[in-house]
Amino acid sequence: MINPVQVVGSAVIAVSQAAGRILIFAGGAIGNGLVGPFYWRQLGRQLVEMGYQSLPVVGLTAIFTGMVLALQSHTGFARFQAESAIPTIVVLSVVRELGPVLAGLMVAGRVGAAMAAELGTMRVTEQIDALATLSTDPMRYLVFPRLVAGLIALPLLVVVANIIGVMGGYLVSVFKLGFGPIEYLNRTFEFLELMDVVSGLVKAAVFGFIIALMGCYHGYNSEGGAQGVGTATTRAVVSASILILTANYFVTEAFFDR
Amino acid sequence: MTEQPKIRIRALTKSFGPNRVLRGLDLDVPKGGSVVVIGGSGTGKSVLLKCILGLLEPDAGSIRIDGEEVVGARGKKLTAYRAKIGMLFQGAALFDSLPVWENVAFGLMATNSISRPEARDKAIETLQKVGLASATADLYPAELSGGMKKRAGLARAICTSPEIIFFDEPTTGLDPIMSDVINELIRNSVSDLGATALSITHDMGSVRKIADRVAMLYEGRIIWEGPVATMEQSGDPHVEQFINGKAEGPIRLGG
Protein backbone atom coordinates (compact mmCIF):
# COMPACT_ATOMS: atom_id res chain seq x y z
CA MET A 1 0.00 0.00 0.00
CA ILE A 2 1.22 3.50 -0.85
CA ASN A 3 2.23 5.55 2.15
CA PRO A 4 1.13 9.16 1.44
CA VAL A 5 3.66 10.61 3.91
CA GLN A 6 6.44 8.74 2.09
CA VAL A 7 5.21 9.98 -1.29
CA VAL A 8 5.06 13.61 -0.12
CA GLY A 9 8.42 13.28 1.62
CA SER A 10 10.06 11.82 -1.49
CA ALA A 11 8.62 14.61 -3.63
CA VAL A 12 9.86 17.30 -1.23
CA ILE A 13 13.34 15.76 -1.17
CA ALA A 14 13.41 15.48 -4.98
CA VAL A 15 12.35 19.12 -5.41
CA SER A 16 14.89 20.29 -2.82
CA GLN A 17 17.67 18.34 -4.53
CA ALA A 18 16.73 19.76 -7.93
CA ALA A 19 16.62 23.29 -6.50
CA GLY A 20 20.04 22.76 -4.92
CA ARG A 21 21.53 21.48 -8.17
CA ILE A 22 20.08 24.42 -10.12
CA LEU A 23 21.42 26.92 -7.55
CA ILE A 24 24.89 25.33 -7.68
CA PHE A 25 24.74 25.41 -11.49
CA ALA A 26 23.72 29.09 -11.52
CA GLY A 27 26.36 29.95 -8.91
CA GLY A 28 29.05 28.17 -10.92
CA ALA A 29 28.06 29.91 -14.14
CA ILE A 30 27.94 33.36 -12.55
CA GLY A 31 31.12 32.81 -10.50
CA ASN A 32 33.10 31.58 -13.52
CA GLY A 33 31.52 34.14 -15.84
CA LEU A 34 32.44 37.11 -13.66
CA VAL A 35 36.10 36.02 -13.58
CA GLY A 36 36.32 36.35 -17.37
CA PRO A 37 37.25 36.31 -20.16
CA PHE A 38 33.84 37.49 -21.34
CA TYR A 39 32.61 36.26 -24.71
CA TRP A 40 30.99 39.36 -26.25
CA ARG A 41 30.35 37.61 -29.57
CA GLN A 42 28.36 34.92 -27.77
CA LEU A 43 26.38 37.59 -25.91
CA GLY A 44 25.60 39.39 -29.17
CA ARG A 45 24.44 36.17 -30.79
CA GLN A 46 22.19 35.35 -27.85
CA LEU A 47 20.73 38.88 -27.76
CA VAL A 48 19.78 38.56 -31.41
CA GLU A 49 18.37 35.06 -30.86
CA MET A 50 16.50 35.84 -27.66
CA GLY A 51 15.51 39.46 -28.30
CA TYR A 52 15.36 40.45 -31.94
CA GLN A 53 14.11 37.12 -33.26
CA SER A 54 11.41 36.93 -30.59
CA LEU A 55 9.93 40.29 -31.62
CA PRO A 56 7.31 38.91 -34.05
CA VAL A 57 5.88 36.34 -31.64
CA VAL A 58 5.92 38.72 -28.67
CA GLY A 59 4.48 41.58 -30.76
CA LEU A 60 1.60 39.46 -32.06
CA THR A 61 0.82 38.20 -28.57
CA ALA A 62 0.89 41.75 -27.17
CA ILE A 63 -1.32 43.38 -29.81
CA PHE A 64 -4.07 40.78 -29.58
CA THR A 65 -3.89 40.79 -25.79
CA GLY A 66 -4.36 44.58 -25.74
CA MET A 67 -7.25 44.33 -28.21
CA VAL A 68 -9.04 41.60 -26.26
CA LEU A 69 -8.46 43.46 -23.01
CA ALA A 70 -10.15 46.59 -24.38
CA LEU A 71 -13.10 44.57 -25.69
CA GLN A 72 -13.57 42.57 -22.52
CA SER A 73 -13.23 45.63 -20.29
CA HIS A 74 -15.80 47.41 -22.41
CA THR A 75 -18.38 44.61 -22.19
CA GLY A 76 -17.97 44.52 -18.40
CA PHE A 77 -17.58 48.21 -17.59
CA ALA A 78 -20.44 49.34 -19.86
CA ARG A 79 -22.83 47.79 -17.34
CA PHE A 80 -21.69 50.38 -14.78
CA GLN A 81 -21.17 53.27 -17.20
CA ALA A 82 -17.44 53.05 -16.38
CA GLU A 83 -16.11 52.84 -19.95
CA SER A 84 -13.79 55.76 -19.27
CA ALA A 85 -11.64 53.42 -17.13
CA ILE A 86 -10.80 51.21 -20.12
CA PRO A 87 -7.53 52.99 -21.10
CA THR A 88 -6.27 52.80 -17.52
CA ILE A 89 -7.23 49.13 -17.20
CA VAL A 90 -5.51 48.28 -20.47
CA VAL A 91 -2.26 50.10 -19.73
CA LEU A 92 -1.95 48.90 -16.13
CA SER A 93 -2.79 45.29 -17.04
CA VAL A 94 -0.35 45.25 -19.93
CA VAL A 95 2.53 47.10 -18.24
CA ARG A 96 2.31 45.43 -14.84
CA GLU A 97 1.27 41.88 -15.70
CA LEU A 98 0.37 40.76 -19.16
CA GLY A 99 3.35 42.25 -20.99
CA PRO A 100 6.05 40.58 -18.88
CA VAL A 101 4.17 37.35 -18.17
CA LEU A 102 3.00 36.67 -21.72
CA ALA A 103 6.34 37.72 -23.23
CA GLY A 104 8.07 35.48 -20.66
CA LEU A 105 5.90 32.48 -21.50
CA MET A 106 6.27 32.99 -25.26
CA VAL A 107 10.05 33.37 -24.98
CA ALA A 108 10.23 30.33 -22.68
CA GLY A 109 8.53 28.30 -25.39
CA ARG A 110 10.64 29.71 -28.21
CA VAL A 111 14.06 30.41 -26.74
CA GLY A 112 14.17 28.24 -23.61
CA ALA A 113 13.41 25.19 -25.75
CA ALA A 114 16.01 26.18 -28.34
CA MET A 115 18.68 26.71 -25.67
CA ALA A 116 18.01 23.33 -24.09
CA ALA A 117 18.04 21.62 -27.48
CA GLU A 118 21.26 23.34 -28.57
CA LEU A 119 23.17 22.67 -25.35
CA GLY A 120 21.70 19.17 -25.09
CA THR A 121 22.89 18.35 -28.59
CA MET A 122 26.29 19.82 -27.77
CA ARG A 123 26.43 17.59 -24.68
CA VAL A 124 25.51 14.34 -26.42
CA THR A 125 27.79 15.03 -29.41
CA GLU A 126 30.74 15.81 -27.06
CA GLN A 127 30.96 19.44 -28.19
CA ILE A 128 30.91 20.58 -24.55
CA ASP A 129 33.78 18.20 -23.77
CA ALA A 130 35.58 19.56 -26.84
CA LEU A 131 35.25 23.10 -25.48
CA ALA A 132 36.90 22.04 -22.24
CA THR A 133 39.81 20.40 -24.08
CA LEU A 134 40.29 23.65 -26.02
CA SER A 135 41.04 25.54 -22.79
CA THR A 136 37.59 27.12 -22.74
CA ASP A 137 35.33 26.87 -19.72
CA PRO A 138 31.91 25.75 -21.06
CA MET A 139 30.12 27.57 -18.22
CA ARG A 140 31.86 30.79 -19.15
CA TYR A 141 31.46 30.36 -22.89
CA LEU A 142 27.99 28.82 -23.15
CA VAL A 143 26.01 29.52 -20.00
CA PHE A 144 27.05 32.95 -18.68
CA PRO A 145 26.43 34.88 -21.94
CA ARG A 146 22.97 33.28 -22.18
CA LEU A 147 22.12 34.29 -18.61
CA VAL A 148 23.24 37.87 -19.29
CA ALA A 149 21.31 37.89 -22.57
CA GLY A 150 18.19 36.77 -20.69
CA LEU A 151 18.58 39.61 -18.20
CA ILE A 152 18.94 42.21 -20.97
CA ALA A 153 16.74 40.91 -23.79
CA LEU A 154 13.47 40.28 -21.99
CA PRO A 155 13.09 43.79 -20.48
CA LEU A 156 13.75 45.24 -23.95
CA LEU A 157 11.16 42.89 -25.43
CA VAL A 158 8.69 43.87 -22.73
CA VAL A 159 9.13 47.58 -23.51
CA VAL A 160 8.13 46.77 -27.09
CA ALA A 161 5.33 44.45 -25.92
CA ASN A 162 3.97 47.22 -23.65
CA ILE A 163 3.85 49.74 -26.48
CA ILE A 164 2.25 47.27 -28.90
CA GLY A 165 -0.22 46.02 -26.26
CA VAL A 166 -1.38 49.56 -25.45
CA MET A 167 -1.62 50.24 -29.17
CA GLY A 168 -3.89 47.17 -29.53
CA GLY A 169 -6.21 48.57 -26.89
CA TYR A 170 -6.09 51.98 -28.59
CA LEU A 171 -7.02 50.57 -32.00
CA VAL A 172 -10.07 48.68 -30.68
CA SER A 173 -11.17 51.54 -28.44
CA VAL A 174 -10.85 54.24 -31.09
CA PHE A 175 -12.03 52.38 -34.18
CA LYS A 176 -14.62 50.07 -32.63
CA LEU A 177 -15.74 51.42 -29.29
CA GLY A 178 -15.98 55.11 -30.20
CA PHE A 179 -13.24 56.63 -28.00
CA GLY A 180 -11.60 59.85 -29.16
CA PRO A 181 -7.88 59.29 -29.93
CA ILE A 182 -6.59 62.16 -27.75
CA GLU A 183 -9.02 61.30 -24.96
CA TYR A 184 -7.85 57.66 -25.00
CA LEU A 185 -4.16 58.57 -24.85
CA ASN A 186 -4.70 61.14 -22.10
CA ARG A 187 -6.55 58.60 -19.99
CA THR A 188 -3.87 55.98 -20.72
CA PHE A 189 -1.15 58.07 -19.12
CA GLU A 190 -3.29 59.79 -16.47
CA PHE A 191 -2.89 57.13 -13.80
CA LEU A 192 0.22 55.35 -15.03
CA GLU A 193 3.08 55.61 -12.52
CA LEU A 194 6.79 55.02 -12.98
CA MET A 195 6.63 52.11 -10.52
CA ASP A 196 4.12 50.32 -12.76
CA VAL A 197 6.62 50.33 -15.59
CA VAL A 198 9.63 49.56 -13.39
CA SER A 199 7.92 46.59 -11.74
CA GLY A 200 7.10 45.14 -15.15
CA LEU A 201 10.68 45.53 -16.34
CA VAL A 202 12.10 43.98 -13.16
CA LYS A 203 9.73 41.06 -13.67
CA ALA A 204 10.95 40.76 -17.25
CA ALA A 205 14.59 40.65 -16.13
CA VAL A 206 13.76 37.94 -13.56
CA PHE A 207 11.80 35.94 -16.16
CA GLY A 208 14.60 36.30 -18.72
CA PHE A 209 17.11 34.96 -16.22
CA ILE A 210 14.79 32.06 -15.34
CA ILE A 211 14.25 31.14 -19.00
CA ALA A 212 17.98 31.16 -19.76
CA LEU A 213 18.85 29.30 -16.56
CA MET A 214 16.30 26.53 -17.16
CA GLY A 215 17.26 26.20 -20.82
CA CYS A 216 20.96 26.00 -19.98
CA TYR A 217 20.59 23.76 -16.92
CA HIS A 218 18.44 21.13 -18.58
CA GLY A 219 20.38 21.24 -21.86
CA TYR A 220 23.81 21.18 -20.22
CA ASN A 221 22.90 18.17 -18.07
CA SER A 222 21.01 16.20 -20.69
CA GLU A 223 22.07 12.63 -21.35
CA GLY A 224 20.95 9.63 -23.33
CA GLY A 225 21.02 10.80 -26.96
CA ALA A 226 18.11 12.23 -28.91
CA GLN A 227 15.55 11.15 -26.34
CA GLY A 228 17.53 12.89 -23.58
CA VAL A 229 17.64 16.10 -25.61
CA GLY A 230 13.87 15.91 -26.14
CA THR A 231 13.29 15.40 -22.42
CA ALA A 232 15.61 18.31 -21.59
CA THR A 233 13.71 20.58 -23.97
CA THR A 234 10.36 19.69 -22.42
CA ARG A 235 11.70 20.15 -18.90
CA ALA A 236 13.24 23.51 -19.78
CA VAL A 237 9.93 24.90 -21.07
CA VAL A 238 7.74 23.43 -18.32
CA SER A 239 10.04 24.42 -15.44
CA ALA A 240 10.60 27.92 -16.85
CA SER A 241 6.85 28.46 -17.28
CA ILE A 242 6.05 27.31 -13.76
CA LEU A 243 8.88 29.37 -12.26
CA ILE A 244 7.78 32.46 -14.23
CA LEU A 245 4.26 32.24 -12.80
CA THR A 246 5.62 31.59 -9.30
CA ALA A 247 8.18 34.38 -9.46
CA ASN A 248 5.50 36.71 -10.83
CA TYR A 249 3.58 36.48 -7.58
CA PHE A 250 6.60 37.15 -5.39
CA VAL A 251 7.86 40.09 -7.45
CA THR A 252 4.35 41.56 -7.49
CA GLU A 253 4.13 41.18 -3.74
CA ALA A 254 7.56 42.80 -3.29
CA PHE A 255 6.48 45.86 -5.30
CA PHE A 256 2.83 46.37 -4.39
CA ASP A 257 2.25 44.73 -1.00
CA ARG A 258 1.65 47.75 1.22
CA MET B 1 68.24 6.03 -15.86
CA THR B 2 65.08 5.56 -17.98
CA GLU B 3 63.39 8.64 -19.39
CA GLN B 4 60.32 9.87 -17.58
CA PRO B 5 57.18 8.91 -19.56
CA LYS B 6 55.10 11.74 -20.98
CA ILE B 7 51.99 10.21 -19.41
CA ARG B 8 52.19 7.94 -16.38
CA ILE B 9 48.99 6.39 -15.03
CA ARG B 10 48.97 4.36 -11.84
CA ALA B 11 46.22 2.44 -10.02
CA LEU B 12 43.45 4.37 -11.75
CA THR B 13 39.96 3.43 -10.64
CA LYS B 14 36.60 4.76 -11.73
CA SER B 15 33.13 3.43 -10.97
CA PHE B 16 29.65 4.49 -11.98
CA GLY B 17 27.41 3.25 -9.19
CA PRO B 18 27.98 -0.51 -8.91
CA ASN B 19 29.70 -0.63 -12.31
CA ARG B 20 33.48 -0.71 -11.72
CA VAL B 21 34.82 0.44 -15.06
CA LEU B 22 38.52 1.02 -14.27
CA ARG B 23 39.97 -1.23 -11.59
CA GLY B 24 43.53 -0.15 -10.94
CA LEU B 25 44.80 0.65 -14.40
CA ASP B 26 48.53 1.25 -15.01
CA LEU B 27 49.87 2.67 -18.27
CA ASP B 28 52.93 4.57 -19.48
CA VAL B 29 53.06 6.58 -22.69
CA PRO B 30 56.66 7.42 -23.65
CA LYS B 31 57.52 10.89 -24.87
CA GLY B 32 57.13 11.07 -28.66
CA GLY B 33 55.55 7.63 -28.77
CA SER B 34 52.20 6.53 -30.11
CA VAL B 35 50.32 4.17 -27.81
CA VAL B 36 47.01 2.67 -28.84
CA VAL B 37 44.68 1.21 -26.23
CA ILE B 38 42.50 -1.56 -27.65
CA GLY B 39 39.55 -3.28 -26.07
CA GLY B 40 35.93 -4.19 -26.70
CA SER B 41 32.99 -1.85 -26.50
CA GLY B 42 32.15 -0.88 -22.92
CA THR B 43 35.53 -1.85 -21.46
CA GLY B 44 36.27 1.71 -20.33
CA LYS B 45 38.50 3.06 -23.09
CA SER B 46 36.57 6.33 -23.36
CA VAL B 47 36.37 6.61 -19.57
CA LEU B 48 40.17 6.27 -19.42
CA LEU B 49 40.56 9.05 -21.99
CA LYS B 50 38.09 11.33 -20.21
CA CYS B 51 39.92 10.81 -16.90
CA ILE B 52 43.22 11.82 -18.54
CA LEU B 53 41.59 14.86 -20.15
CA GLY B 54 40.15 15.96 -16.80
CA LEU B 55 36.58 15.57 -18.04
CA LEU B 56 35.91 12.86 -15.45
CA GLU B 57 37.28 12.72 -11.91
CA PRO B 58 38.77 9.28 -11.12
CA ASP B 59 37.82 7.67 -7.81
CA ALA B 60 41.47 6.95 -7.02
CA GLY B 61 44.85 6.70 -8.66
CA SER B 62 47.34 9.00 -10.28
CA ILE B 63 47.78 10.54 -13.72
CA ARG B 64 51.05 12.40 -14.24
CA ILE B 65 51.84 14.45 -17.31
CA ASP B 66 55.55 15.34 -17.51
CA GLY B 67 55.72 14.29 -13.87
CA GLU B 68 52.93 16.71 -12.80
CA GLU B 69 49.84 15.26 -11.17
CA VAL B 70 46.72 16.26 -13.09
CA VAL B 71 44.06 14.40 -11.09
CA GLY B 72 42.09 17.05 -9.24
CA ALA B 73 43.78 19.89 -11.16
CA ARG B 74 41.73 23.09 -11.26
CA GLY B 75 41.97 26.62 -12.58
CA LYS B 76 45.26 27.74 -14.08
CA LYS B 77 46.95 24.37 -13.61
CA LEU B 78 44.20 22.63 -15.57
CA THR B 79 44.23 25.35 -18.25
CA ALA B 80 48.02 25.07 -18.58
CA TYR B 81 47.72 21.29 -18.93
CA ARG B 82 44.97 21.54 -21.53
CA ALA B 83 47.01 24.04 -23.54
CA LYS B 84 49.46 21.15 -24.13
CA ILE B 85 46.87 18.80 -25.59
CA GLY B 86 44.84 18.24 -28.71
CA MET B 87 41.93 15.86 -29.04
CA LEU B 88 40.17 14.25 -31.98
CA PHE B 89 36.74 13.14 -30.82
CA GLN B 90 34.94 10.10 -32.20
CA GLY B 91 32.28 12.17 -33.98
CA ALA B 92 34.74 15.05 -34.51
CA ALA B 93 32.60 17.20 -32.11
CA LEU B 94 32.86 20.26 -34.33
CA PHE B 95 30.87 23.27 -33.09
CA ASP B 96 27.77 23.45 -35.29
CA SER B 97 27.33 27.18 -34.86
CA LEU B 98 30.82 28.10 -36.11
CA PRO B 99 32.32 27.87 -39.59
CA VAL B 100 35.08 25.33 -40.10
CA TRP B 101 37.92 27.84 -39.82
CA GLU B 102 36.68 29.09 -36.44
CA ASN B 103 36.41 25.49 -35.27
CA VAL B 104 39.99 24.81 -36.32
CA ALA B 105 41.38 28.02 -34.82
CA PHE B 106 39.23 27.86 -31.67
CA GLY B 107 42.01 26.64 -29.38
CA LEU B 108 44.42 29.12 -30.89
CA MET B 109 42.08 32.03 -30.22
CA ALA B 110 41.30 30.75 -26.73
CA THR B 111 44.90 30.47 -25.58
CA ASN B 112 46.74 33.12 -27.60
CA SER B 113 46.15 36.78 -28.21
CA ILE B 114 45.88 36.27 -31.95
CA SER B 115 43.75 38.41 -34.27
CA ARG B 116 40.89 36.82 -36.18
CA PRO B 117 42.54 37.34 -39.61
CA GLU B 118 45.74 35.69 -38.33
CA ALA B 119 43.74 32.84 -36.80
CA ARG B 120 41.88 32.35 -40.08
CA ASP B 121 45.16 32.17 -42.04
CA LYS B 122 46.55 29.62 -39.59
CA ALA B 123 43.32 27.59 -39.79
CA ILE B 124 43.42 27.50 -43.60
CA GLU B 125 47.07 26.45 -43.50
CA THR B 126 46.21 23.63 -41.09
CA LEU B 127 43.19 22.58 -43.15
CA GLN B 128 45.46 22.25 -46.16
CA LYS B 129 47.81 20.03 -44.13
CA VAL B 130 44.97 17.58 -43.61
CA GLY B 131 43.94 17.69 -47.25
CA LEU B 132 41.02 20.12 -47.09
CA ALA B 133 40.78 22.95 -49.61
CA SER B 134 40.75 26.53 -48.35
CA ALA B 135 37.15 26.84 -49.63
CA THR B 136 36.17 24.47 -46.81
CA ALA B 137 37.09 27.13 -44.26
CA ASP B 138 33.83 29.04 -44.61
CA LEU B 139 31.54 26.01 -44.66
CA TYR B 140 29.64 24.93 -41.56
CA PRO B 141 30.12 21.43 -40.07
CA ALA B 142 26.65 20.36 -41.23
CA GLU B 143 27.84 20.88 -44.83
CA LEU B 144 30.76 18.42 -44.47
CA SER B 145 30.88 14.67 -45.15
CA GLY B 146 31.95 12.26 -42.39
CA GLY B 147 35.52 12.08 -43.71
CA MET B 148 35.76 15.86 -44.04
CA LYS B 149 34.53 16.27 -40.47
CA LYS B 150 37.26 13.93 -39.22
CA ARG B 151 39.87 15.88 -41.16
CA ALA B 152 38.56 19.17 -39.78
CA GLY B 153 38.56 17.64 -36.29
CA LEU B 154 42.15 16.53 -36.82
CA ALA B 155 43.05 20.02 -38.03
CA ARG B 156 41.54 21.46 -34.83
CA ALA B 157 43.48 18.94 -32.73
CA ILE B 158 46.85 19.86 -34.28
CA CYS B 159 46.33 23.59 -34.92
CA THR B 160 47.85 24.63 -31.59
CA SER B 161 50.89 22.35 -32.11
CA PRO B 162 50.10 20.34 -28.98
CA GLU B 163 52.61 18.19 -27.12
CA ILE B 164 50.09 15.38 -26.65
CA ILE B 165 47.28 14.36 -29.01
CA PHE B 166 44.44 12.04 -28.06
CA PHE B 167 42.44 10.14 -30.64
CA ASP B 168 39.09 8.62 -29.73
CA GLU B 169 38.07 5.97 -32.27
CA PRO B 170 39.49 8.02 -35.15
CA THR B 171 38.20 5.78 -37.95
CA THR B 172 34.78 4.78 -36.63
CA GLY B 173 32.06 5.26 -39.23
CA LEU B 174 34.44 5.78 -42.15
CA ASP B 175 34.85 3.59 -45.23
CA PRO B 176 38.14 1.59 -45.44
CA ILE B 177 39.81 3.99 -47.87
CA MET B 178 38.92 7.08 -45.84
CA SER B 179 40.01 5.21 -42.68
CA ASP B 180 43.42 4.64 -44.24
CA VAL B 181 43.63 8.30 -45.29
CA ILE B 182 42.83 9.43 -41.73
CA ASN B 183 45.33 6.94 -40.26
CA GLU B 184 48.00 8.25 -42.61
CA LEU B 185 47.19 11.85 -41.65
CA ILE B 186 47.34 10.97 -37.96
CA ARG B 187 50.71 9.26 -38.38
CA ASN B 188 52.14 12.18 -40.36
CA SER B 189 50.69 14.89 -38.12
CA VAL B 190 52.03 13.28 -34.97
CA SER B 191 55.49 12.74 -36.41
CA ASP B 192 55.64 16.26 -37.93
CA LEU B 193 54.79 17.81 -34.56
CA GLY B 194 56.99 15.40 -32.62
CA ALA B 195 53.96 14.91 -30.38
CA THR B 196 53.05 12.08 -28.05
CA ALA B 197 49.87 10.26 -29.09
CA LEU B 198 47.41 8.18 -27.13
CA SER B 199 44.60 6.61 -29.11
CA ILE B 200 41.73 4.31 -28.31
CA THR B 201 40.19 2.15 -30.97
CA HIS B 202 38.95 -1.31 -31.82
CA ASP B 203 39.87 -0.94 -35.49
CA MET B 204 42.89 -3.23 -35.91
CA GLY B 205 43.78 -1.64 -39.25
CA SER B 206 44.12 1.65 -37.43
CA VAL B 207 46.18 0.03 -34.67
CA ARG B 208 48.69 -1.43 -37.12
CA LYS B 209 49.00 1.89 -38.92
CA ILE B 210 49.34 4.41 -36.07
CA ALA B 211 50.68 2.50 -33.05
CA ASP B 212 54.22 2.15 -31.78
CA ARG B 213 52.96 0.29 -28.75
CA VAL B 214 49.65 -1.39 -28.01
CA ALA B 215 47.90 -1.90 -24.68
CA MET B 216 44.90 -4.19 -24.24
CA LEU B 217 42.23 -3.05 -21.77
CA TYR B 218 40.09 -5.76 -20.27
CA GLU B 219 38.02 -5.79 -17.09
CA GLY B 220 39.31 -2.39 -16.04
CA ARG B 221 43.02 -3.18 -16.30
CA ILE B 222 45.74 -3.27 -18.94
CA ILE B 223 46.23 -7.01 -19.38
CA TRP B 224 48.93 -6.84 -22.07
CA GLU B 225 51.19 -4.09 -23.34
CA GLY B 226 53.99 -4.21 -25.90
CA PRO B 227 55.34 -3.05 -29.27
CA VAL B 228 52.87 -3.32 -32.13
CA ALA B 229 55.23 -5.71 -33.94
CA THR B 230 54.90 -8.27 -31.14
CA MET B 231 51.11 -8.01 -30.86
CA GLU B 232 50.52 -11.05 -33.07
CA GLN B 233 52.81 -13.14 -30.85
CA SER B 234 51.62 -11.77 -27.52
CA GLY B 235 50.82 -15.22 -26.15
CA ASP B 236 47.82 -13.71 -24.39
CA PRO B 237 44.56 -15.47 -25.35
CA HIS B 238 42.53 -12.27 -24.79
CA VAL B 239 44.73 -10.29 -27.19
CA GLU B 240 44.74 -13.11 -29.73
CA GLN B 241 40.96 -13.39 -29.64
CA PHE B 242 40.54 -9.62 -29.95
CA ILE B 243 42.97 -8.94 -32.77
CA ASN B 244 41.68 -11.91 -34.75
CA GLY B 245 38.04 -10.96 -34.08
CA LYS B 246 36.90 -14.39 -32.90
CA ALA B 247 33.67 -15.04 -31.04
CA GLU B 248 35.25 -18.02 -29.24
CA GLY B 249 37.75 -17.28 -26.51
CA PRO B 250 38.13 -15.98 -22.97
CA ILE B 251 36.45 -12.62 -23.72
CA ARG B 252 32.73 -12.75 -23.15
CA LEU B 253 30.84 -9.67 -24.33
CA GLY B 254 28.01 -8.49 -22.15
CA GLY B 255 26.04 -7.31 -25.19
- What single-letter DSSP state applies at residue A200? H
For A126, the closest of B82, B93, B106 (CB atoms) is B93
Contacts of B54 in chain A (CB under 8 A): 132
Mean pLDDT of chain A: 93
How does pLDDT run across A151-166, given as a tens digit for each residue?
999 999 999 999 999 9
Range among A137-151, A179-193, B198-212 with highest mean pLDDT value: A137-151
B95/A132 CB distance under 8 A: no
**pLDDT confidence bin for B2, thresholds 50/70/90:** low
User: At residue A224, does pLDDT exceed 70?
Assistant: yes
Size of interface A-B (CB pairs under 8 A): 49
**How many structural domains is chain A composed of?**
1
Residues in chain B whose Cβ is within 8 Å of chain A: 50, 53-55, 79, 82-83, 85-87, 89-91, 93-97, 106-107, 110-111, 156
Q: How far is A106 from chain B (nearest CA, A)?
A: 24
Task: Please give the share of chain A, as a percent, with pLDDT higher than 90.
Answer: 84
| pLDDT in the model for residue A107 | 96
Residues A46-73 have a mean pLDDT of 95
A133/B96 CB distance under 8 A: no
A32, A41, A131, A135: best to mutate for the B interface, most B CBs within 10 A: A135
Task: Please give the share of chain A, as a percent, with pLDDT higher than 70.
Answer: 100
**pLDDT confidence bin for B198, thresholds 50/70/90:** very high
Strand partners, B35: B198, B213
Nearest-CA residue of chain B relative to A45?
B97
Q: How far is B85 from chain A (nearest CA, A)?
A: 7
B93/A136 CB distance under 8 A: no
Please, is A11 exposed, middle or buried when counting C-beta atoms within 10 Å of its C-beta (0-12, 13-18, 19+)? exposed
**pLDDT confidence bin for B114, thresholds 50/70/90:** confident
Q: Please give the residue that has the higher pLDDT: either A225 or A24.
A: A24
Q: Domain limits at A232?
A: 4-256
Q: Which of A146-150, B90-94, B155-159, B190-194 is the least confident region?
A: B190-194
| pLDDT in the model for residue B227 | 93
Q: With H, G, I as helix, E, B as strand and everything else as coil, classify residue A42.
A: helix
User: At residue B236, does pLDDT exceed 90?
Assistant: no
Please, is A171 exposed, middle or buried when counting C-beta atoms within 10 Å of its C-beta (0-12, 13-18, 19+)? middle
B96/A45 CB distance under 8 A: no
How does pLDDT run across B151-165, given as a tens digit for each residue?
999 999 999 889 999
CA gyration radius for chain A? Answer: 21
What gap in Å lies between CA A230 and CA A222, rounded to an integer?
9
Task: Please give the share of chain B, as a percent, with pLDDT higher than 90.
Answer: 54
Name which of A185, A190, A189 is nearest A167 in CA terms: A185
